[in-house]
Amino acid sequence: MKKITVNTSRVYEVFIGGRLLSHAGELLAAAVPVQKALVVSDDIVYPLYGKKLESSLSAAGFSCRNFVFPNGEAHKRLSVIEEILEYLAKEHFCRSDVVVALGGGVCGDMAGFAAAIFCRGIRYIQVPTTLLAAVDSSVGGKTAVDLSCGKNLCGAFHQPALVLCDTDTLSTLAPQNTADGLAEMLKYGVICDADLFEKVKNYKNEDMEALIARCVEIKRDVVAEDEFDRGTRQLLNLGHTVGHAIEAASGFKITHGQGVAAGMAIVARGAEALGLCTPGTAKQIEDALDACGLPQNCDFDADTLATLTLSDKKADGDFIHLIIPRRIGKCEIVRTKQDDVRRLIARGL
């Protein structure tokens, strides 16, 4: 088992290893006082792991409740947040209690956002069960829901009290879910770690714990430097501006990992065509995505994608803070005019 400390406005531990669900109660009790715990999960994950988690929490003295909502990005909405809040109120939860997010990125965002705004903020912990959530969304305190105009436009920064990544849960993932996580892991490599990039490209299942830990270390360092996403943390959005547009254009039939993968490739090809990055960088990214079973393009045109980037959280008036790969292991934040964003996307397609 690996333990990583995250130093933000709330200091917390990230545990990575097998059999952590069985020890969740004792680890949570060591982090927060024993009170009521609401397990928030979806209708795919909860039947797999919900009772096991609740059994561990109950054994440690927590009084458990659960709230289960339908799986999928389509349910990452304010209407479901309202249901969670009403349930917390009905069950008389208060600021000494805790919310436990059991699931992937959607569940973590939903549970975290509900915890951020209930009673002006109660504690929550992340128990990611997807590779993507383990390496990315479970760490760093970003919580949000989608609006009709775009992804994650309604949210709050709210750091968890604890993150438990039980690598045993990754064994039930479909190949596409694993590939989605690999997309985010490749992203970390492109941003600042060429060695990690190569390891993910050629990953073996037995190396996964170490690879997850390295990704979490990178995110820990970036978040500690810029917790509220005003500067350096925006580097973590490599591939996301175009990726979110691809997701939205597909009606969210394209997964987040697939969108980020295609977004990285499109931006890299566009940047290389415009002389903004080292020649051959785009091909390196394409080859790695191919090795991980991820897409390198999409069926949408530049006008559609560029228009959708107008609703991106990284928009700054008529500019987008676009993340440009200079080479593998080095990216920069480039304040880019909307017309130039469209031009780069067109070249990248």
- Range 19-27 average pLDDT: 97
Give the least confident one: 27-36, 89-98, 272-281, 313-322: 313-322
Q: Are residues 241 and 115 in the same domain?
A: no
Tell me which H or E stretch contains 82: helix 78-90
Render 56-80 in DSSP notation, one character per residue: HHHHTT-EEEEEEE-SSGGG-SHHH
Q: How far apart are CA 222 and CA 326, in angstroms?
A: 18
Q: Are residues 277 and 343 in the same domain?
A: yes
Q: Are residues 59 and 165 in the same domain?
A: yes
Q: Are residues 214 and 198 in the same domain?
A: yes
- Range 309-330 average pLDDT: 87
Place of tokens 């309604």: 154
Q: Are residues 160 and 296 in the same domain?
A: no
pLDDT for the residue 335: 94
Q: Is the pLDDT of residue 204 over 80?
A: no
Domain boundary among 111, 142, 172: 172
pLDDT for the residue 312: 72
Q: Are residues 127 and 30 in the same domain?
A: yes
Domain housing 97: 2-172
Which domain CATH number covers 212? 1.20.1090.10
Q: Are residues 139 and 198 in the same domain?
A: no
Q: In this structure, are residues 216 and 4 in contact, taking their beta carbons and an 8 Å threshold?
A: yes
The structure's pTM equals 0.95
Domain boundary among 172, 203, 232: 172
Q: Are residues 258 and 129 in the same domain?
A: no
Q: Are residues 93 and 149 in the same domain?
A: yes
Q: Are residues 179 and 115 in the same domain?
A: no
Domain boundary among 118, 140, 172: 172
For the range 172-179, what are the long-range contacts, defined as Cβ-Cβ under 8 Å and sequence gap of 24 or more? 172/48, 173/130, 173/131, 175/293, 176/255, 176/258, 176/293, 177/104, 177/130, 177/131, 177/132, 177/257, 178/131, 179/257, 179/258, 179/292, 179/293, 179/294
- Range 95-123 average pLDDT: 97
pLDDT digits (tens, 9 = 90+) for 208-254: 999 999 999 999 999 999 999 999 999 999 999 999 999 999 999 99
Q: Are residues 181 and 165 in the same domain?
A: no
pLDDT digits (tens, 9 = 90+) for 156-184: 999 999 999 999 999 999 999 999 999 99
Q: Are residues 149 and 66 in the same domain?
A: yes
With cut-offs at 50, 70 and 90, classify the pLDDT of residue 315: confident
Q: How many domains does the chain have?
A: 2
Q: What is the percent of the chain with per-residue pLDDT over 70, rounded to a whole number?
A: 99
pLDDT digits (tens, 9 = 90+) for 83-100: 999 999 999 999 999 999
pLDDT for the residue 317: 74
pLDDT for the residue 106: 97
Which domain CATH number covers 134? 3.40.50.1970
Q: Is the pLDDT of residue 313 over 90?
A: no
Give the least confident one: 98-102, 187-191, 282-286, 319-323: 319-323
